Structure 1
Amino acid sequence: MDVSVSASAAESQSTGKTYKVVPILVAFLISGFIGLFSETALNIAITELIQVFQTNAATIQWLTTGYLLTLGILVPVSGLLLQWFTTRQLFITSLCLSIIGTLIAALAPSFEILMIARVFQAMGTALLLPLMFNTILVIIPPEKRGGAMGMIGLVIMFAPAVGPTFSGFVLENLTWNWIFWLSLPFLVIGLLAGIFFLENVSEVTKPKIDILSIILSTIGFGGIVFGFSSAGEGSGGWSNPEVIAFIAAGAISLLLFSIRQFKMEHPMINLRAFRYPMFTIGLILVFICMMVILSSMLLLPMYLQRGLVVSAVIAGLVLLPGGILNGLLSPVMGRLFDKYGPKWLVIPGLVIVSVVLWFFSTITTETSIALIVTLHIALMIGVSMVMMPAQTNGLNQLPPQYYPDGTAIMNTLQQVSGAIGTAVAVSILSAGENRYLQSVSNPDDPSHGPVAFTAGVQDGFIFALIAAVIALIVAFFIKRVKVSS
């Protein structure tokens, strides 16, 4: 691990305590890998799960959106939890929840039970992600955080890359349940690694719990994600009164939540972190980048199987090279960030992402597999140049007392953006598919299916392209944060 710390240890600036960095990172990386692996492992299985559970794409996408919805609701509370419980307590609880969820999923006889399992898995991840980032901010000095964040980036991107390929091979030879059976032992290994290696790094201060803030946060983030997700289901789409009501309730609750946090002496999440401009810019870039990543990782497997009519194994293999390269590049980008700063990585990265998404918006049922592989590799290279540099630069500007709040804000909006991105992409995909079928003389002709679905995928990538261009404009305002040794 290239975290460049003497004798595998680092001294916390705030406490002066020396930590054994490598064992702590090992515990988090093993656990984070499996947690994030399970987030995308089901993407390849979506087509089969639609048939197994006799449902449709709009409903089955809740296995992804519901996972992200749970994260969006629970991660905002993580800043408070980090001040109430020790690092070891939160880590062990996180892994136990993930193990329970994975076991339920492996045994799930119906969509409803599988959905419950995904909620348990998300609860585990909701505790793990903020804890991981907060721990890095405490034990790694600012001038070396790029390399450490790069290692985390390797796991964050390598795990989702391996997920679809692994599940493709599983589906070819076993049932979808084995995706979870084979993950279970690694979660147990992660739990044991944490029990043996993890140290307590955060200070337990037990601030006052404000119930109203928790209620407003839950209604706010939950309402917005649920509203966006519901737009992809049933009739009416975005004009459905239920969709409008949930989004409006979420927006009003978040406004009241924000006002309350600024008035409180000890807020649940200290939104004064937004006063630091590079944190805000980094947050916007990460928000949009997650929308692009998760919407693309949902659209591409479905396009490969329903548009190009390839097997689950082939679809997984197509996405593997780009995902692996993205993971391998994350530590490299981290070191380049430490040396040169964010600007010369983020702007070129977003240019690459925008160009690739434009090409994806023109794909057809005749597009070659080789071109898809090439485009996906380029997309993942671009993403690796944006995510960690923007995130690390933003968090570096925060003073230590804002670390729990900054990581909570960053991870909350990151997960909410993913949920919104996937929900909007599926909604646009469904609308584009229906629009195409309405334009042909015989919409029941099976030969129109792949073409109609591909037309919807094109529209989904246009949405991602617009988001990427907005991020590119914002990226021109990013500046390197000066941090003291």
Structure 2
Amino acid sequence: MSSHHAQAPGTSRAAIGMIAVAAAAAFLATFNETFLNVALTPIMTDFGIDVSVVQWLATGYLLVAAVFVPVSNVLYHRFRTRPLFVAAVAFLVVGSVVGALAPSFGVLLAGRLLQAVGTGLLTPIGMNITLAVAPREKLGLAMGIMAAMTTLGPSMAIVVSGALLSVAPWTTLMWVFGALSLIVLLAGAVLLRNVAELGRPVLDVLSFLLVAVGLVGLLYGISTAFSGSPLVAAITAAVGILALAAFGVRQNRIEHPLLNLQPFRSTPFVLGVSMTMLGLLFVFAMNVVIPIFLQSVKGQTPMGASLTLAPGILMTVVLGPVAGRLFDRHGGRVMIPAGFAIMAVFALLVGAAAGHESVLLFAALYVPAVLATSLVIGPSQTFALSSLDRQSSPHGVTVVSTSFQIAGCLGTSLAIGAYNALTTRGLASGSDLLGASVLGFRGAAVLVALTSVVGVVLAFAATRAARAARAARAAEAGETIGSGRAHTVVDLMKTDVYALSTEQNVLEALQMFTDRGISGAPVLRPDGSLAGFLSDGDVMRYLSAEHPSSTNIYSFAIGESDDLEDALADLVSLPVMRLATHEVVTVDANDSIADAVAVLSDKHLKKVPVVRGENGPMIGIVSRSAVNRLAISSYLASREEQARPADGETGAVEREPQLA
């Protein structure tokens, strides 16, 4: 069964509230990644440091956040969701206070790194919450909202910080962010409930050290490739790669891996993560190089540079959920490559406009470029995570969240590196500052355009991979059932099951029954365990007892609907568990097909939920129709097997197609 659907509370208020908190957390985490970028100059002045030191406020933040993302997966399954979320946001609050009161740069950096710990934990926790509570049919919309927040965060940070710095000192940024974090902390404490399957996962210290050395080495090597010694950068990156390789080997050998590498076995997942990273790389690269160019060359103030980015940023917030709905309806076969193509074209046009005097033209051309990222980032995330099963999804979220930090570091480092390198080369060749800076900016624009072209190629490859994966699953299912080789209910059950939540009301249940063309559905608790089963018969029996004149639902068809309308209005305030059957007959995942047949026959049931272990989560449903298909397919397969000698002798009898 899909991991998203198993725990989906539909569109209940509780689910909406939790998704809103998760989206706010995603916004905060990415907002803080660039919030201090515009303030680096006054910070250098206050503490008497140069750019090579102050840049660690950005680079160090991303590195520490990347290191702590894998740890979040262990914590997510060990501690209840609400206290874990509150603790993660508390790191942001405490780090903000430390940074605001810092008497030296070292203390400021320590506060910044405390914030990074919270960011590394918070990003995957928020995504896991969204995956747990969003209905499968609305997953694209929910992930579109999350993608809009992660895209909005680093972009909006530049606008807000520019506005604040025009009227207040840089320490105000830390106080403002601390206040925002406190608001999200309180909202999480009120609205969240546990949505994770809790256990006793163990944090492997050696794995943590290896991933820390690996990510820090790799990202430090990349970030210093343009500005430092190439030899040191190469050695550091090589050490990082070796540490990551050792990390991967260890994960496959220990009982409790820090990061389950199973998602990497899915080609669609790998391609989806790669496309997400390319979209984020574009955002981070353009949002760091544009303000620098506008301030140093075009004479814009921090506020003016921020406002140049504002229109595209605000429109991206609106387009993110729209892109999610489009993905739900049509998939990403056209949307994602089109988004990358628009990004590439308009990045080149923005680069061309850099030499033009009009800043308005520059800003106008950037709008479609940043809007196109909405067609890429959210849909690519959804594409990647929807390719995973229930067990792999939390690990996939960890990988995606880590990719955020890596993409941010790559985008920032590559754009600034190309800009500085080409600007320096232009000055050395005799160009003035304007000409050299335009050359540097165009080089950065060409670089991000090339990464977008790579994204187009990956998007087409992802479409082919997804089609191949679907064909393989269909073939495997047909082979298992058609040949009669199914031995346990897991081999026979339907995994993509529509489910209700204990938070929903009866009218919402009836609406789902109508929309999905079903007559009943299991009711799940937030942790995915089975709470009950509601059928349309349960509802009609209630109406018959409480509203006798409304028992004929067909009265709507003949215009006598007043009594029934009153009765159905009564269902809005009626929780599904008031009418659902609490003692639900189930079969275990390890039960045989014969056991399932016996339950269906003895209890006179059409379908029976499949659970994993006593009081475990529901993972699917076995129906009478599935058993009938298996029986017929097995019979036809045995007849065909018996007919094969005669076929070999005459060569005249064609094989009858098996039932799928």
- Find the partner of 2:441 among 437, 445, 457: 457
> Against the structure 1 CA distance between its residues 200 and 472, is the aligned structure 2 distance closer, same or farther, given a 3 Å change threshold?
same
Q: Deviations over 1:41-69 (max 9, x none)?
A: 22333344444444444443332221111
| Residue 414 of structure 2 corresponds to residue 424 of structure 1 | yes
| Residue 330 of structure 2 corresponds to residue 340 of structure 1 | yes
Match of 1:160 in 2: 154
- For 1:60-459, list aligned pairs within 5 A: 60-234=54-228, 236=229, 239=230, 241-440=231-430, 448-459=432-443
Match of 1:8 in 2: none
Q: CA deviation at 1:451?
A: 3.5
| Residue 461 of structure 2 corresponds to residue 477 of structure 1 | yes
Q: Is the 8 A contact 1:72 1:412 kept in 2?
A: yes
Q: Give the number of aligned pairs.
A: 466
Alpha-carbon distance in 2 for matches of 1:180, 1:341:
41
> Against the structure 1 CA distance between its residues 115 and 256, is the aligned structure 2 distance closer, same or farther, given a 3 Å change threshold?
same
Alpha-carbon distance in 2 for matches of 1:26, 1:351:
31
Q: Deviations over 1:330-386 (max 9, x none)?
A: 010011110000112101100000111222333445342112211221111110000
Match of 1:35 in 2: 29
Please give the secondary structure, in 1, of the residue aligned with 2:198: coil
Alpha-carbon distance in 2 for matches of 1:174, 1:17:
44
User: What amino acid does structure 2 have at the position aligned with 1:197?
Assistant: L
Q: Is the 8 A contact 2:8 2:136 kept in 1?
A: no
Please give the secondary structure, in 2, of the residue aligned with 1:263: coil
Flag the structure with more relative contact order, 1 or 2, with Cα contacts below 8 A and sequence separation at least 6.
1
Q: Is the 8 A contact 1:59 1:233 kept in 2?
A: no
Alpha-carbon distance in 1 for matches of 2:4, 2:356:
56
Q: CA deviation at 1:116?
A: 1.9
Point out where structure 1 has 5 or more consecutive residues left out of the alignment: 1-10, 442-447
Alpha-carbon distance in 1 for matches of 2:303, 2:202:
51
Alpha-carbon distance in 1 for matches of 2:221, 2:294:
28
Q: Is the 8 A contact 1:45 1:312 kept in 2?
A: no
Q: Deviations over 1:411-454 (max 9, x none)?
A: 1122112112212222222211221121128xxxxxx3343333
Q: CA deviation at 1:221?
A: 0.9
Q: Is the 8 A contact 2:148 2:374 kept in 1?
A: no
After alignment, is 308-317 or 62-71 more displaced? Answer: 62-71
Q: Is the 8 A contact 2:154 2:284 kept in 1?
A: no
Q: CA deviation at 1:36?
A: 2.5
Alpha-carbon distance in 2 for matches of 1:307, 1:215:
43
Q: Is the 8 A contact 1:146 1:334 kept in 2?
A: yes
User: What amino acid does structure 2 have at the position aligned with 1:274?
Assistant: F
Q: CA deviation at 1:286?
A: 0.9
Q: Is the 8 A contact 2:25 2:126 kept in 1?
A: no
Q: Deviations over 1:173-217 (max 9, x none)?
A: 111111222222221111111111110110221123322221211
Q: Is the 8 A contact 1:87 1:202 kept in 2?
A: yes
Alpha-carbon distance in 1 for matches of 2:317, 2:305:
19
Alpha-carbon distance in 2 for matches of 1:373, 1:410:
30
Alpha-carbon distance in 2 for matches of 1:460, 1:413:
21
Q: Deviations over 1:58-99 (max 9, x none)?
A: 443332221111111111222222222221222011111000
Alpha-carbon distance in 1 for matches of 2:75, 2:248:
19
**1 or 2, which has the higher helix percentage?**
1
Point out where structure 2 has 5 or more consecutive residues left out of the alignment: 471-494, 499-660
> Against the structure 1 CA distance between its residues 12 and 273, is the aligned structure 2 distance closer, same or farther, given a 3 Å change threshold?
closer
User: What amino acid does structure 2 have at the position aligned with 1:43?
Assistant: N
Alpha-carbon distance in 2 for matches of 1:286, 1:26:
22
Alpha-carbon distance in 2 for matches of 1:71, 1:213:
16
Q: Is the 8 A contact 1:43 1:301 kept in 2?
A: no
Q: Is the 8 A contact 2:96 2:178 kept in 1?
A: yes
* RMSD between superposed Cα atoms in Å: 2.3
Match of 1:46 in 2: 40
Q: Is the 8 A contact 1:261 1:270 kept in 2?
A: yes
Q: CA deviation at 1:127?
A: 0.9
Task: Give the TM-score taking structure 1 as reference length.
Answer: 0.90
User: What amino acid does structure 1 have at the position aligned with 2:460?
Assistant: F
> Against the structure 1 CA distance between its residues 30 and 133, is the aligned structure 2 distance closer, same or farther, given a 3 Å change threshold?
closer
Alpha-carbon distance in 2 for matches of 1:111, 1:382:
38
Q: CA deviation at 1:155?
A: 2.1
After alignment, is 402-411 or 16-25 more displaced? Answer: 16-25
> Against the structure 1 CA distance between its residues 322 and 449, is the aligned structure 2 distance closer, same or farther, given a 3 Å change threshold?
same
Please give the secondary structure, in 1, of the residue aligned with 2:252: helix
Question: Which protein has the larger Cα radius of gyration, Structure 1 or Structure 2?
Answer: 2
